[in-house]
């Protein structure tokens, strides 16, 4: 009889440990600030023409909500501001005359990532869509670029109390230039690598 009691007690203890291990954390709200370098690709080379890009400032500020499906899996939609900058270099003719133009595009940014959490480490990835609302450039206007773009975003970070520090990478899948509004039918996509800081409650 005592063996049955001990067995029952052991099973209850094991079940309680399993249940406590699977209790999902509370949902979080937070702010992401990421800053780094961004550029366009691919570069174009020809016999009498080349078009290359130098990296510029990449910035991302996002308010997000993190919902946990389990202890280790969460989804994180966000809404914020994104800036991509670069310098476009033209070399025209056999003489090699070089002209450069700086560009900074500002977007409304809507990312949705799936997060995998292990202890204090978090890795996540997912799609994002962007709406261009401003262009700063000596050569281009907003009409020279596609208003809507999309891509993938991913990151890895480590948690310190209420803060998380890590890296964020963005890879654009849409064409940056509006070919119908450009003299040269340039085809380019954007990418950026940033150091990220998060504060969440």
Minimum mean pLDDT range among 25-29, 41-45, 69-73, 140-144: 41-45
Is residue 194 in some structural domain?
A: yes
The per-residue pLDDT for range 47-71, each reduced to its tens digit, is: 666 788 999 999 999 999 999 999 9
Is residue 181 in some structural domain?
A: yes
Is residue 11 in some structural domain?
A: no
Per the CB < 8 A criterion, the answer to whether 40 and 54 are in contact is no
List residues bridging with 154 in a β-sheet.
Answer: 125, 169
Q: What are the CA-CA distances from residue 177 to residues 57, 83, 103, 123, 131 (Å)?
A: 18, 16, 12, 31, 13
- Is the model's pTM score more than 0.85? no
Is residue 93 in some structural domain?
A: yes
The three-state DSSP-derived secondary structure of 45-90 is: ECCCEEEEEEEEEEEEEEEEEEEECCCCEEEEEEEEEEEEEEEEEE
The residue length of the chain stands at 201
C-alpha 87/C-alpha 16 separation (Å) is: 59
Find the angle CA(119)-CA(123)-CA(124) to the nearest 5 degrees.
135
C-alpha 47/C-alpha 113 separation (Å) is: 43
CATH code where residue 92 lies: 2.40.160.20
Is residue 15 in some structural domain?
A: no
The per-residue pLDDT for range 127-170, each reduced to its tens digit, is: 999 999 999 998 889 999 999 999 999 999 999 988 999 999 99
List residues bridging with 42 in a β-sheet.
Answer: none
Cis geometry, peptide bond prior to residue 42 (ω within 30 degrees of 0): yes
C-alpha 107/C-alpha 124 separation (Å) is: 22
> What's the pLDDT at 8?
57
Rounded mean pLDDT, 3-29 = 63
> Which secondary structure element, helix H or strand E, spans residue 6, and what is its range?
helix 2-22
Rounded mean pLDDT, 170-178 = 94
Beta strand 97-118 pairing with 73-92: antiparallel
Q: Distance from first CA to last CA of the chain, Å, rounded?
A: 50
Query: Which of the four pLDDT bands, split at 50, 70 and 90, describes residue 179?
Result: confident
Is residue 79 in some structural domain?
A: yes
> What's the pLDDT at 20?
45
Domain that holds residue 195: 24-200
Is residue 19 in some structural domain?
A: no
- For the chain, the domain total comes to 1
């Amino acid at each position: 009889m005592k063996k049955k009691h001990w067995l029952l007690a052991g099973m209850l203890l094991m079940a309680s440990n399993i249940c406590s291990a699977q209790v999902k954390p509370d949902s979080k709200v937070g702010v992401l600030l990421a800053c780094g370098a961004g550029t366009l690709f691919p570069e174009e080379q020809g016999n009498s023409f080349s078009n290359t890009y130098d990296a510029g400032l990449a910035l991302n500020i996002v308010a997000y909500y993190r919902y946990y499906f389990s202890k280790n899996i969460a989804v994180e939609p966000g809404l914020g501001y994104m800036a991509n900058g670069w310098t476009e270099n033209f070399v025209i003719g056999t003489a090699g005359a070089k002209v450069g133009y700086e560009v900074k595009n500002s977007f409304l940014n809507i990312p949705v990532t799936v997060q995998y959490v292990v202890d204090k480490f978090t890795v996540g990835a997912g799609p994002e869509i962007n709406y261009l609302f401003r262009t700063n450039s000596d050569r281009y206007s907003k009409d020279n670029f596609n208003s809507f773009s999309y891509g993938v975003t991913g990151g890895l970070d480590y948690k310190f109390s209420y803060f998380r520090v890590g890296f964020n990478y963005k890879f654009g899948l849409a064409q940056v230039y509006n070919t119908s509004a450009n003299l040269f039918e340039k085809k380019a996509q954007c990418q950026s690598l940033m150091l990220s800081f998060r504060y969440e409650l």
